[in-house]
Structure 1
Amino acid sequence: MDMSLIKEAPATAEPALSEIAVSVRNISKNYGAVEALKDLTLEFPRGQLTSLLGPSGCGKTTLLKIIAGLLEPTSGEVEVNGKPVTGPGPNRAFVFQDFALLPWATVMRNVAFGLELRSINKSKREDIAAKYIKEVGLGGFENSYPHELSGGMRQRVGLARALSVDAKVLLMDEPFSAVDEQTRRKFQEDLLGLVQNENKTFIFVTHSIEEAVYVSDQIAILLPRPSRVSEIIRPSGFRHKDHDQIRRDPEYLDIVDDIWASLRSYVE
């Protein structure tokens, strides 16, 4: 990939070590003879949203699952808040692409399920769940079941569940890919609000260039497998703007166009 085509976003200071929430160092992952990731190193600033963007099959979800502790790397290490990742842990929560809801449980039970697994008493966990159900726009649906909800509403349940366990790192695997374009845009706007208000670190996998540039403080562009980080882009000129102004901002449009120019040759 000729990343010289990518226009530099306005310069921002590199995050200090104490501001790094997740550190990935020299990660490789092999599936038999297939090298999915090779010597990949990347840092995720605390309290920001980093998107993983690249061609299909470049290892974005594999990297996310390694950070989550759901997959073991062939080599290398991951640290979250300075502590090595050896498996799943309460400092990370995963928002799945396919919602992964309990079909027999209400919205309230689904959102509170992670707290139930931690043996939080029912009254407290339902108070916490109710807060996040309201925050994601599902107030009034506490007693509904997944089959009674639209795809967008089910995804909101998954997001509320991840938020309710108060993990410091949220791992999101293409969470908006199964919803219509209008719902997706609303989710993107809501996500910007969550990043601003929740003081959590978000790691976000997407195939959409526009989405990555719209929601991200940092974009990590991955090469086709064996995947490595090709470029880090930190959009800054429009991050303070109102949501409806971002998509018309010249910096936003230039970054979208330049990333597409570089990725076009990898689209089959």
Structure 2
Amino acid sequence: MVMSQTESAFADAQSLEQDIAVSVQGVSKNYGAVEALKNMSLDFPRGQLTSLLGPSGCGKTTLLKIIAGLLKSDTGKIIVNGKPVTGPGPNRAFVFQDFALLPWASVMRNVAFGLELRGVAKSEREDKAAKYINDVGLAGFEGAYPHELSGGMRQRVGLARALSVDANVLLLDEPFSAVDEQTRRKFQEDLLALVANENKTFIFVTHSIEEAVYCSDQIALLLPRPSRVHEIIRPNINRAIGVESIRRAPEYLDIVDQIWASLRAYVE
């Protein structure tokens, strides 16, 4: 059976829609007289990592919280897996910049906490938590408490907790900003492995151009408030050549320079 041009176009549109996990449609947000987001529209492809990159105060975290359902927009809507967002939901998990761990709970309890709130049986939630504790490199620390962990380890706990609830959209608000450069690079490699293996959609806020280019399938450059999308960049980095080779590759360096050229006029 041969489709007509109209049928083919409709099929293509359906396919594209199915490949979009999160759709931001005409979203605006004001804080009193401050216009944070203005008519923002942006799609996030399913199973990929999209970075939100832009000057400080351009609304990256505000957008992330609206997608999470933690803030309400003034206009527009957020569609996740084809359904409008009306508040927080189990299909989204948030990794906070400041870890947001329970200080009185062990690593195991912290990672399993979201499942505990859902009423999942203890054995089941601890089995799932143990898997993600191992996946983020914290095996052996299940019984440790947050004050006994380094900043990098606490951030890994936060990531494991988000993964364990099996949300298909993970929202990461500058999760690596509080760690040293060596740990940050290891986190970036771990994050790429999770993107490859978990079949989840990652929305990643960062201030680092190099980090965005290295980690992202898609980068959304945001302008200063009132924030809107300035440019969409798909780096298409060949990661098979290895970490150090990527960071020296002309195509990687060219994209970094391109983004800096776009943003430098907005950096105070």
Shorter-chain TM-score range: over 0.9
**Aligned 8 A contact 2:77 2:85 in 1:** yes
1:166 positional shift: 0.4
Query: Where does residue 163 of structure 1 map in the other structure?
Result: 163
The answer on whether the counterparts of 2:67 and 2:78 sit within 8 Å (CA) in structure 1 is yes
Native 8 Å contact 1:105 1:145 kept in 2:
yes
- The residue aligned with 2:174 is 174
2:264 is the alignment partner of 1:264: yes
**CA deviation after TM superposition for structure 1 residue 265, in Å:** 1.9
1:190 correspondence with 2:190: yes
TM-score relative to the length of structure 2: 0.93
Q: Do the aligned residues in 2 keep the contact of 1:50 with 1:216 (CA within 8 Å)?
A: yes
Alignment partner, residue 111 of structure 2: 111
Structure (1/2) with the larger helix percentage: 2
Deviation at 1:227, TM superposition (A): 0.5
Q: Which runs of 5+ in 2 are unaligned?
A: 1-12
Give the equivalent residue in structure 2 for 1:212. Answer: 212
SS in 1 for 2:186: helix
Counterpart residue identity of residue 58, structure 2: C
CA shift for structure 1 position 238:
2.0
Matched to 1:141, the amino acid is F
- What aligned pairs does 1:1-268 form with structure 2 within 5 A after superposition? 16-268=16-268
Greater Cα radius of gyration, structure 1 or 2: 2
8 Å Cα contact 1:37-1:225 kept in structure 2: yes
Helix, strand or coil at the partner of 1:197: helix
For 2:104, the aligned partner's letter is W
Task: Tell me how far apart the structure 2 counterparts of residues 80 and 173 of structure 1 sit (CA, whole Å).
Answer: 18
1:250 Cα deviation from its structure 2 partner: 1.2
Deviation per residue, 1:121-152 (Å, 9 max, x gap): 00000000000000000000000000000000
Q: Could you say which residue in structure 2 is the equivalent of 1:10?
A: none
Cα separation, 2, equivalents of 1:20 and 1:185: 28
Q: CA deviation at 1:243?
A: 2.9
State the match for 2:4 in structure 1: none
TM-score by length of 1: 0.93
Q: In structure 2, do the counterparts of structure 1 residues 150 and 38 end up closer, same or farther at CA, with 3 Å as the change threshold? A: same
Q: Distance in 2 between matches of 1:134 and 1:207?
A: 28
Task: Specify every segment of 5 or more residues in structure 1 that has no aligned partner in the other structure, as ranges.
Answer: 1-13
Contact kept in structure 2, 1:94 and 1:170, CA below 8 Å: yes
Note if contact 1:114-1:161 (Cα within 8 Å) is conserved in structure 2: yes
**Kindly, what percent of the aligned residue pairs are identical?**
80
How many residue pairs get aligned? The number is 256
